[in-house]
Amino acid sequence: MEPDNDLSTFLSGKSEQTLLLFNHFINEYQKFAPVTIHLAKTMIGIANSHRRIAWITQLGKNFIHVVFPFKQEYPDNLCFQKIAQVPGDSQQFNHHFRMYSVEDVNEEVLKFMRMAFEDK
Q: Which pTM does this prediction carry?
A: 0.91
pLDDT of res. 4: 43
The reply to whether 2 falls in a domain is no
**CB of 19 within 8 A of CB of 11?**
yes
- Percent of the chain exceeding pLDDT 90 equals 77
Q: What total of structural domains would you count in the chain?
A: 1
Assigned domain for 1 exists: no
Average pLDDT, the chain: 91
Q: Which helix (H) or strand (E) holds 55?
A: strand 52-59
**Contact yes or no for 84/74 (Cβ under 8 A):** no
pLDDT at 2 over 80: no
The CATH number of residue 22's host domain is: 3.30.1460
- For residues 14-24, give the mean pLDDT: 97
Q: How far apart are CA 1 and CA 26, in angstroms?
A: 8
What region, left, alpha or beta, does residue 88 occupy, with left being phi > 0 and alpha being psi -120 to 50 degrees? left
For residues 20 and 101, give the distance between their C-alpha atoms in angstroms, rounded to a whole number. 9
Position 41 scores a pLDDT of 87
Helix (H, G, I), strand (E, B) or coil at 80: coil
* Domain limits for position 54: 7-118
Residues 58-105: pLDDT tens digits?
999 999 999 999 999 999 999 999 999 999 877 899 999 999 999 999
